[in-house]
Chain A
Amino acid sequence: MYDERFSGLRRRGFLAATTGAAALTLVGCGGDTDSADGKNGGGTPKRGGRLRAAFAGGGASETLDPHLANLFADVARAKALYDKLADYGADLSAQPRLAAKWEPDKTLDRWQVTLRKATFHDGRPVTAKDVLYSYRRIADPEQTFRAKASLEPIDLDASRATGDRAIEFVLKRPTAEFPNILAAFGAYIVPDGARDFDSKPVGSGPFRFVSFTPGRSAVLRRYDDYWEGAPHLDELEFVVANEESARVNALLGGQVEYAHELNPTTARAHEGRGQIEIVRLRNSAMQAFCMKTDRAPFDDKRVREAFFLIADRKELVDGALSGAGVIGNDLFGKGYEYYADDLPQRAQDLDRARALLKKAGAEKLKVTLDTSAVAAGFTEAASIFRDQAAKAGVTIDVKMGSKDSYWSDILDNGTLCCYRSGAMPIEAHISQRLLTESTTNATKWRHKDFDALYQQAQSTRDTTERAAVYARMQRRLYAEGGFLVWGFADWILGTARNVKGVRTAAPANTLDWARFDKVWLA
């Protein structure tokens, strides 16, 4: 019900490989990226007012510790109170936030990061010491913070402050995508020495703390000295309503102005009726079937290709997502940086699927498909795919699992399962799930040559060259990978009609998602 957890970043180790090249500087635009595209409503921002936002939450166990953020509600609160050094743009590329700029050395394993001038809510400046404290707290071996694995490439003992606002990060190996680490899920900057986050948390984010009742409400107030300019709203209140119908009713009844995570059917019922605004964040959640490539029948790539060809993606999107999404092409990250969109769109071809299965000696194949009510559309997708497979002579037995332990259950067990993922850079998807050492490698995709390509990408400083390596990796996954990516679901929000400035181009989990400092009440 409440546990729409979404994906953080997870990195894994790989061998160092170095290439020499000229120094490269990645400098972000720094200022506001207030482009006209993808905004809900226009006009001049108006200052003032209180916005109430309803999210599904974590009940009485909720905390404001940003490093413990796990649910959408946690992240929305964390990003209002705190900042990260970088965050993801709409294409999941890292955009500078508290970091004004970053610059690698020649071998990509030392990065100089310069902080912008920013202050915490108590007036203290954000310094290199705060950054190192925050990262060391996350990486503490005694703790189990979610971002710990993301920060793994950083050697925090060797990294040091080189000035009040300058840090030298020493990495364990070349990491061309180091800015992704700075943007990692949960890698928020807290003041040096901060331990207690629930009574009076102090951050450098656009809103300052007023009050917090776990599982019920968090009230925040505008921080006038925010480095990017004070928010338009006077006050922001997060309220928790786990039932989708309750969030919609509260929005329709004027009790909240923003309702997060609505069902496609609700969206259809209210879209264009003028009562509320429906906002669809495209490409927010990859929807897939995950085939374990290390065991029968999917250890034969002809069987995997046959399954790619069995899927009628349009029917899956229409049926399982009620049409709220777009079809997929067996690759993660549609619309994201480095996405291989030049590959032909795969379509259902039952004759070829049957022929491939015959060649593989897998006629009259019987497979168990694991699913669970853990995510919207999972059980529907499973039964639709079962019917599609039957047309190709494949018998699929759909098995329902527990939703509280689903992700752990399907990691090593079974052969075929429903899968989904929130937005993250394509590089992070690969490092978390598709390398020999990946911790959540649900397709059991383990290939030394593929690992080597990833290393090569991470050691390539030229973006075009790096993109070419990612394209090669994606071609391989497209041809014979274990993820049958059939669609990308919209993330659906509802807002009151007077709420303006809600970005529509940002997938859930990116900088502009749930970004209340840019929102105003008309």
Chain B
Amino acid sequence: MNAGVRVRTGGLRSFVARRLLLGAAQTVAVVLLVFALTEALPGDAAVALAGDQPDPARIAAIREAMDLDRPAYERLADWAAGLTHGDFGTSLASGRPVSGYIADGFGPSLLLASLTLALLVPLGFGLGVLAARHEGRLVDRLVSGVTLAVYAVPEFALGVLLVTVLALKLAWLPPTAVGYGTDLLAHPAALVLPVLVLLSRPVCSLSRLVRAGMVDALASPYAAHARRYGVPGARVRYAHALPNALAPAAQQLARTVDWLLCGVIVVEALFVIPGLGTVLLNAVAERDVPVVQGLAVVFGVLTVVLNLGADVVAYRLTPRAGVAA
């Protein structure tokens, strides 16, 4: 038993190391790709800033002031050199540090993601288990029907619907978080609708996954065997069948957290919550390459770490299945 654990831990360690290396390479690739794509977009920061007054002389002057007249690889190299000692560079549009942009946008995104996650896990698992327990019966069909229906509604439509009914018609909740800035926690009522919209689709996909995993596991020979030995139904469900459903759910959960943290632009725009999605959207429109780059690094690292975490969880839960690195 002890030897077995050691082998597994050793395997896990090298697995994590391999994945971290791969993750670093992926993040670099993402940053390079994003840089190339931003450069490939028509116009640059000078053109975007000049807007509807595209006086060629002024654009040239802005370009020079922003150092955009230097070759792209030089600017990328400078930026990468700064990154090695933790300097994300400065915004082309404002001259302020990019780290400030990221820090300011991260707060609201993190808050929304945590709240959503805190509700998502119990709700998603609860509904999934509930449906699996009553497989094929009315409760299952009700849960499945409602989750599928909600899943089919796009966030924007759902958001508009909820605002119209709950905020404007019934006046139970504020329609937006406008003017609250980073101090969202002081206005919890303003968070209800955005979190509801954010929850809507992940709850559906998660509960569907949990249900499917549970149904599979409950129908498996080992569950039947456990029942034959007289193990109580609840224990079969939660100690034996549920872990089996956890592995795919954990991966789905990681993707959801990643999606939440990278800023859900639809929700941010609709409810005026200045998170990372808004920062990214503005930066791309302004062709503010350093800000876009900084965000690419953050998003890349987040994605790698979250997926790694999910894979480790899956690895621990279902060692037999193995995990493809």
| Residues on A facing B (Cβ under 8 Å) | 1-3, 5-8, 10, 52, 54, 58-63, 70, 142-144, 146, 148-149, 213-217, 237, 239-243, 245-246, 249-250, 252-253, 255-256, 401-402, 404-405, 407-409, 411, 421, 439-440
A407 and B54: CB pair below 8 A?
yes
* A217 close to B279 (CB less than 8 A): no
A interface footprint on B87-101 (CB within 8 Å = 1, 0 otherwise): 000010110100011
- Bound state CA distance, A39 and B195, in angstroms? 41
**Residues of B contacting A421 in the complex (Cβ-Cβ under 8 angstroms):** 52
Most buried by B among A59, A215, A402: A59
Q: Are A215 and B274 in contact (CB under 8 A)?
A: yes
Residue in chain A with minimal CB distance to B266: A243
Q: Is residue B57 within 8 Å, beta carbon to beta carbon, of the partner chain?
A: yes
Query: Are A70 and B51 closer than 8 Å at their CB atoms?
Result: yes
Docked-complex contact B181 and A216, CB < 8 angstroms = yes
Closest CB in chain A relative to B174 CB, distance in Å? 6
The answer to whether A241 touches B168, judged by C-beta atoms less than 8 angstroms apart, is no
CA distance A6 to B51 in the complex (A): 8
Known: A58-B282, A245-B270, A439-B57. 8 other contacts (CB 8 A): A58-B93, A60-B91, A60-B105, A246-B175, A246-B270, A255-B174, A404-B285, A405-B41
User: Which B residues from 42 to 64 make CB contacts under 8 A with A?
Assistant: 42-43, 47-59, 61-62
Is there contact, CB below 8 Å, between B53 and A440? yes
Given A242-B269, A255-B175, check contact A60 B282 (CB 8 Å): yes
CB distance from B250 to the nearest CB of A (A): 34
By the criterion CB–CB under 8 Å, are A253 and B171 in contact?
yes
A-B contact pairs, 22 of them (CB 8 A): A5-B52, A10-B53, A59-B281, A60-B91, A61-B91, A61-B288, A144-B62, A149-B58, A215-B274, A216-B181, A242-B269, A243-B269, A245-B270, A252-B175, A253-B168, A253-B175, A401-B42, A404-B41, A405-B42, A408-B47, A421-B52, A440-B54
Minimal beta-carbon separation of B283 from chain A (angstroms): 8
Number of interface residues of B (CB under 8 A): 53
Complex interface: chain A residues within 8 A of B288 (CB): 61
Closest A residue to B64 by beta carbon equals: A144
Nearest to A244 among chain B residues (CB) is B269
Task: Tell me whether B33 is interfacial, beta carbon within 8 Å.
Answer: no
For residue A148, which residues in chain B have a CB less than 8 angstroms away from its CB?
A: 58
Taking a contact as CB atoms under 8 Å apart, the answer to whether A243 and B287 are in contact is no
Residues 264-315 of B contacting A (Cβ, < 8 Å): 269-272, 274, 278-279, 281-283, 285-288
CB of A402 within 8 A of CB of B270, answer no
Contact indicator A439/B181 (Cβ below 8 Å)? no
Known A61-B286, A216-B274, A250-B178; contact A440-B55, beta-carbon cutoff 8 A: yes
